[in-house]
Chains A and B, each alone.
Chain A
């Protein structure tokens, strides 16, 4: 029998989670070691499918904990034996406590921004005029160059938007983790670590900021457990 691991923390009580329904309908319990409690439930397999049901079960349990305290969430799909989990807690005790202190009292908020292609304008234009003489080899290089210039401009745009966003939430965010251009149209995906008490101010600041940039499309979500603010090397 294995365990499915949801999250861990140093302010977690069994009472907080035992009535929740976790993965495979099991009730979560705690595995405690070195002053840290891991929230787990019995799991009778070595693998788990990425289905809506399982993902929501995972999230449900972690959020139940998040309502009371900020835990460190496990990546979805963490299946271990109790022995392995205990030795992990032993081995990583110091690092885990450091991470818990880092996120204590805060939650993760997410901002994703799409920059519409039409609004991009003629980003690919520019660069020295090389001339149009030459055969298919030359054309190949010219096309690549055009792509590269477009790429460069996009990168600059992403950095500009990132800097603007940083200024918009300055003072309200404990930490930021930003990914530039994670996909074709997503110019930026940012995670912000925000104090619970500052959430209302943060939301307000973000609301204002959105109106300043009508050419950008926003998706904001939260609050999340601090998935993006974990740097405990495995």
Chain B
């Protein structure tokens, strides 16, 4: 029998069976926690349709990651002052179109903003 001789006596601080929750802003936190739980990943179905869906998600996530990098890069260059106003305009238009295209693709696959992410474990999330 595991632990019968090792069992410590009940700790002096008794722990309630219900978690004690203490806040002055219940509604506000409920709203935020709902938001957090809504971005929980969906279950996995191992069938053809969701393999395709999973693949689309992966590809779009990577594109999204790169797209955001490009935006940041463009902003840095704009701030750096080494772009002419015409170049800034052209860059902005291109990125704007890219964002629009991504929005279309996401809609096509029924993916929301929060769906596009990769959990890299201890390293954190990609986006």
Contact with A197, one of B13, B15, B36, B78 (Cβ below 8 angstroms): B13
Given contacts A13-B4, A141-B74, A144-B71, contact A186 B95 (CB under 8 A): no
List 17 other contacts, CB 8 Å, given A59-B19, A141-B88: A11-B2, A11-B6, A64-B17, A107-B15, A112-B33, A114-B29, A134-B88, A136-B92, A137-B95, A138-B88, A141-B75, A145-B75, A183-B32, A217-B24, A219-B25, A220-B21, A221-B21
A–B pairs, 28, beta carbons within 8 Å: A10-B2, A13-B1, A13-B2, A14-B1, A37-B2, A37-B3, A63-B17, A67-B11, A67-B15, A69-B3, A112-B29, A114-B32, A131-B85, A134-B88, A137-B88, A137-B91, A137-B95, A137-B96, A138-B89, A138-B92, A140-B92, A141-B95, A148-B75, A183-B35, A183-B36, A186-B32, A186-B36, A222-B20
CA distance A63 to B89 in the complex (A): 60
Write out the residue numbers on chain A whose beta carbons fall within 8 Å of the beta carbon of B118. Answer: none
Q: 10 shortest A-B CB distances, which residue pairs?
A: A137-B92, A137-B93, A219-B23, A141-B92, A37-B2, A11-B3, A137-B89, A221-B21, A140-B92, A140-B96
Using a CB–CB cutoff of 8 Å, the interface residues on chain A facing chain B are: 9-14, 30, 32, 35-37, 59-60, 63-64, 66-69, 107, 112, 114, 127-128, 130-131, 133-141, 144-145, 148, 182-186, 196-197, 199-200, 217-224
Among B3, B14, B33, B92, chain A packs the most CB atoms within 10 A around the CB of B3
A185 adjacent to B78 (CB under 8 Å):
no
Nearest chain B residue, comparing its CB with the CB of A34: B2
Q: How many residues on B have C-beta within 8 angstroms of the other chain's C-beta atoms?
A: 44
| B 68-106 binary contact with A (CB < 8 Å = 1; else 0) | 000110110011000001001111111110000000000
B47, CB-defined interface residue at 8 Å: no
A134 adjacent to B89 (CB under 8 Å):
yes
**Closest-CB distance, A53 to chain B (whole angstroms):** 15
CA distance A196 to B9 in the complex (A): 13
CA distance A197 to B15 in the complex (A): 12
A217 adjacent to B7 (CB under 8 Å):
no
A contact patch SS: mixed
Contact with A130, one of B72, B74, B78, B90 (Cβ below 8 angstroms): B78
Write out the residue numbers on chain A whose beta carbons fall within 8 Å of the beta carbon of B22. Answer: 218-221
Write out the residue numbers on chain B whose beta carbons fall within 8 Å of the beta carbon of A218. Answer: 22-24
B49, CB-defined interface residue at 8 Å: no
CA distance A222 to B13 in the complex (A): 13
**Closest-CB distance, A203 to chain B (whole angstroms):** 9
CA distance A138 to B85 in the complex (A): 8
Write out the residue numbers on chain A whose beta carbons fall within 8 Å of the beta carbon of B14. Answer: 67
Nearest chain B residue, comparing its CB with the CB of A189: B36
Contact with A12, one of B3, B28, B29 (Cβ below 8 angstroms): B3
